[in-house]
Amino acid sequence: MIKAVIFDMDGVLIDSEHQWQLTERALFGELGIELTDELLVQTRGLRTEEMVAHWRNRFDLDGVDPEDLMRRYDERMVEVMKRDVPLMDGAEDAIRFFKEKGIPIALATCSSNAHIDAAMEKHNLKKYFHKMVSAADEMQGKPHPEVYLRTAELLEIDPTCCLAIEDSFFGVVSAKAARMKVVAMPDPTEYDQPRFGVADLKIRSLREINDEAFDQLQKI
């Protein structure tokens, strides 16, 4: 039985993935590094620290302070969150769907608390959430299950009774490793990738969260 639902944030509730990539591309472009669309796929869903470490391992960034790079990236994205990031189609309706069923709602994301606060305040969503957990708070990032296990612990609900909604493959793996039921909502460019078959349900939009889908997930 589903006793709690846990949303990822970027690419699920807010349409921010493109903005993350634009900011990442611009920041590294200032260092003379061109990040193509194909390269940017490699860091999708990673924490800022993991993203910077990934490119430091690939490119010559000697003399570049990684802490300064992370700080500039995060500061730019906070401003972007406040200004340019819309809700995903059907996001608030999906949240209300679970609220009306009396199911506790939580957030589990690799974004920092500053990013969470900026997005929640912009769209007035904080009132819906029982818990909001950031893997940036000294946790291992997705695909490690720590952020989902921690969220379930804070909700005081067994992970096997939680439903996670994710857009990235790393996120799906993270939630499955925590033994949760998982709805995958991949980016349209990744929707047909067979690897998302590991999810219990795959959707194109949060508009597909309805009684039929919920009943289907309850039976799994």
**Whole-angstrom Cα Rg for the chain:** 17
Q: Which of 4, 57, 7, 46 is nearest to 24 (CA)?
A: 46
| Residue 117 annotated to the active site | no
Q: Which residues 6+ apart lie within 8 Å of 174 measured at CB?
A: 142, 143, 144, 145, 147, 148, 166
The structure tokens listed for 133 are: 């957990």
The structure tokens listed for 147 are: 């952020």
Cβ atoms < 10 Å from Cβ of 159? 21
Task: Count H helices and E strands in the chain, helices first.
Answer: 9, 6
Catalytic residue among 10, 60, 158, 187: 10
**C-alpha to C-alpha distance for 183 and 200, rounded to whole angstroms:** 6
Residues in the chain: 220
**C-alpha to C-alpha distance for 178 and 176, rounded to whole angstroms:** 5
Catalytic residue among 8, 60, 74, 211: 8
Give yes or no for a contact between 179 and 168, defined as CB atoms under 8 angstroms apart. Answer: no
Q: Looking at the annotation, which residues are catalytic?
A: 8, 10
